[in-house]
Amino acid sequence: MSKRLLIIFLCLVCGLQSVRGQKYSKKRILKDLNELPGFEQAFVGFMLVDPKNGKTIASQFEDKYMTPASNTKLFTLYAGIHFLGNRIPALQYIIKDDSLIFWGTGNPLFLHPEYNDTTALHFLKSRTEHLYYWPRPMEDDRFGPGWGWDDFNGYYSAEKSIFPIYGNSVTAYLNKEKKTIDVSPSYFKPNFKLKIDSIFRLRSYTQREEFENQYEYAFPSNHDFDIVDYSAVDTLTRPFHYSTNLFTALLSDTINKEITLVGKPENFELAQTLYISISDTLYKYMLQESDNLFAEQILLMASGLEKDTLSTEDIIQKTKTSLFKNQQDELVWEDGSGLSRYNMFTPRTITDLLLNLHKELGEDRLFELLPAGGISGTLKDWYAGENETYVYAKSGSLRNNYALSGYLKTRKGEMLIFSFIINHYKHSTDKVRKSIEVVLQKIRAWH
């Protein structure tokens, strides 16, 4: 071989080796999963799958049970699509002579402050019959099993109920002209006690007792301690403590009609159902904003299609036996939202679910429902592509636990399915997110 040909041969070999060196191999992925910041002492479950052939590209602890947080909402979505379909039951009713007896289906959209559906409202306001409300039975407590007992005041912990109203929450906001606090629904305004915080805080805050709907709204003060800093007064949404009496009082106040409580009506099974056809609005808000009440109520609605009692436990069991009967790993599933620390899934269970969702919903509809990296929902500030979106996924977080599972588009235009579940880290969640982003960007570039 001439000297010139030898040089060309060596250059070709070196070029091939360079390309191979740039490939993000399984070995390099696993190395990053153990060494990137935030991963060092954490329990990092991961699975990356090519949906075209079902083959696993890389995985770590994919068969281990882990805390999924709000990745649980992906399972709730699957149950909702299969059992509720494209129509949401707004309420049910029976008409007898001059009386209309109605009851809840678990629909969370009724007078919701963000996604206010008025179908049931207009129906009830337009009726000429006397209105009677039956408080349908529900097996669930106001909170799910394994929820934080002291989260009752958190905006994310609205109580589950038979007939949600106003998102089972109250919102306080600053009237800039009057420099007072307005409240929605206004029914609660007399329940708000205003004060100037005696201890300097950066922002306003509100607090209520666990079983009372009396709120203390504290204005932040400036350094004089007696002058309100209105620039630091926030709009705050907090749950109210739900009861049948409160529901009927709120509804009566809203429609300006008297509502009387009654027992279970005869011929319950012959009830008529009022439907709304905006199921994707419900699913989209649940996934993108990670709304816990929507997730819980989706399961409750599905549970009430065939019986009079709403039960999350029953519908989860039905979902497991009918939709996940051939699953490799049994689902340890307790609630709809992922607030429960009793939930446990494996990364391969989640990737299997994502594969089924992609097949059944189609990419366009599915990607419209999920948060998009750098664009929408809980991923608005994370996982952005330079020129185009490359991550569509559901995130989830509880203290010291973070999950991200969904779909990744590579630079070659291929679509991959992934699931990250990182449990028991001691660093900040942002540090974990940044390390996940490093891995996803490398996968995008070199697969």
pLDDT in tens, 329-372: 999 999 999 999 999 999 999 999 999 999 999 999 999 999 99
**DSSP secondary structure of 55-68:** EEEEEESTTS-B--
Residue 419 · residue 386 · CB < 8 Å: no
Sheet (strand 391-398) strand order:
55-60, 43-50, 415-423, 401-409, 391-398
Domain boundaries, given as residue ranges, for the chain: 27-80+290-446, 81-288
Residue 170 · residue 235 · CB < 8 Å: no
Q: Which CATH architecture has domain 27-80+290-446?
A: 3-Layer(aba) Sandwich (3.40)
State the Cα–Cα distance between residues 185 and 166, nearest whole angstrom.
8
Q: What is the mean pLDDT of residues 61-85?
A: 97
Query: Average pLDDT over the chain, rounded to whole?
Result: 90
316 vs 114: which has the higher pLDDT: 316
Tell me the pLDDT tens digit for each residue of 257-276.
Answer: 999 999 999 888 899 999 99
Tell me the pLDDT tens digit for each residue of 119-155.
Answer: 999 999 999 999 999 999 999 999 999 998 888 988 8
Cβ–Cβ contacts within 10 Å for residue 39, how many? 21
- Measured in residues, the chain has a length of 447
Q: Please, which residues bridge with residue 182 across strands?
A: 173
Give the phi and the psi of residue 250 in degrees, each rounded to 5.
-65, -45
> What is the pTM (predicted TM-score) of this model?
0.91
Query: Exposed e or buried b for every residue in 307-319, given b needs 16+ CB within 10 A?
Result: eeebbbbbbbebb
Helix, strand, coil abundance in the chain, percent, nearest 5: 35, 25, 40
Model confidence at 179, pLDDT cuts 50, 70, 90, reads confident
Q: Containing H/E element for 48? A: strand 43-50
